[in-house]
Amino acid sequence: MEWVHRWRAMGVDCKVVAPRDLDANWCEATVASYERTLSRFDPHSELNEVCRIGSGTVSADLQQVVLAAIDVARWTNGLVIPHLGATMAAIGYDRTFAAIRPSQQALDLPVLPDWRDIEVRGRHILLPSGTRLDVNGIAKGWISQRMTERCATPRVLVELGGEVSVIAPPDDPWCVAIDHPTAAEPLALLALAHGTVATSSIIERRWQRAGINVHHIIDPRTGMSAVTDVLTASVIAREGIYAEAAAKVCILLGAERGIMWLTERGLAGLVYTADGQVLTTPFLAEYLWEYDQ
107 pLDDT more than 80: no
Question: What per-residue confidence (pLDDT) applies to 112?
Answer: 87
Question: What per-residue confidence (pLDDT) applies to 97?
Answer: 65
Cβ neighbour number for residue 208 with a 10 Å cutoff: 14
Q: Do 218 and 225 contact (CB within 8 A), yes or no?
A: yes
Expressed as residue numbers, the domain containing 12 is 3-287
Question: Does residue 293 lie within any of the structural domains?
Answer: no
What's the rounded Cα separation, in Å, for the pair 35 and 285? 35
Summarised one tens digit per residue, pLDDT across range 244-254 is 999 999 999 99
H/E run at residue 147: helix 136-150
Helix axes 24-38, 60-75, angle to 10 degrees: 70
Question: Does residue 292 lie within any of the structural domains?
Answer: no
**Helix (H, G, I), strand (E, B), or coil: what is residue 60?**
helix
188 pLDDT more than 60: yes
Question: Does residue 198 lie within any of the structural domains?
Answer: yes
Cβ neighbour number for residue 33 with a 10 Å cutoff: 12
Mean local confidence (pLDDT), 213-226: 86
pTM over 0.85? The answer is: yes
Residue 291: which pLDDT band, with cuts at 50, 70 and 90? low
Mean local confidence (pLDDT), 188-194: 96
Q: Do 113 and 83 contact (CB within 8 A), yes or no?
A: yes
95 pLDDT more than 90: no
212 pLDDT more than 80: no
Question: Does residue 44 lie within any of the structural domains?
Answer: yes
**Helix (H, G, I), strand (E, B), or coil: what is residue 259?**
helix
End-to-end CA distance of the chain: 18
What's the rounded Cα separation, in Å, for the pair 260 and 162? 22
Question: What per-residue confidence (pLDDT) applies to 224?
Answer: 87
Summarised one tens digit per residue, pLDDT across range 160-177 is 988 999 999 999 999 999
What's the rounded Cα separation, in Å, for the pair 150 and 156? 10
Report the share of the chain in percent with pLDDT over 70: 95
Q: Please state the domain count of the chain.
A: 1
**Torsion over CA: 117, 122, 126, 131 (sign):** positive
Mean local confidence (pLDDT), 189-211: 87
Question: Does residue 26 lie within any of the structural domains?
Answer: yes
Question: What per-residue confidence (pLDDT) applies to 100?
Answer: 64
